[in-house]
Amino acid sequence: MEFAQQNIWLILLMLVSGYMLVGGSLMGRLSGVKQVSPQDAVRLFNNDALMLDVRESSEFVDGHIPKSKHIPLSQLKGRLADLEKYKDKPIVAVCRSGNRSGHACGILRKAGFEDVSNLSGGIMAWEQAGFPKER
């Protein structure tokens, strides 16, 4: 108990870090959002899925998945009409780590998009898998 009292900030930092590492994907699973690996995302893309990048413009220009459509999460609700032609196709949402794209999946599902997936680990997982990016 004495250790906990003396190191409360360290313990809080550990808890917050743990949540940031696993909380986003756990919340995505609990909300019913389908999580896909980079390899699964490539298979979906090869079968006509839309890769939807919801990062901010500055992040997108630094490098993105080839042929992905860019709509920042902050603009997604107002630009759902831009995605209407993809309503019957699979959509894989992408962000930096998978948290914002998980939120985007929720928005899309509420708008009637049925086949929506979140790229687990985001563009960071994509890069770690050795898949290409373009600028």
What Rg do the C-alpha atoms of the chain give, in angstroms? 17
Active site residue 95: yes
Bridge partners of 52, per DSSP, are 69, 93
Token pair recorded at residue 31: 């909300």
Catalytic residue among 71, 83, 95, 123: 95
Dihedrals phi, psi of 26, to nearest 5 degrees: -65, -45
Residue with tokens 């917050």: 16
Q: Which amino acid is at 61?
A: V
> Any idea which residues carry the catalytic annotation?
95
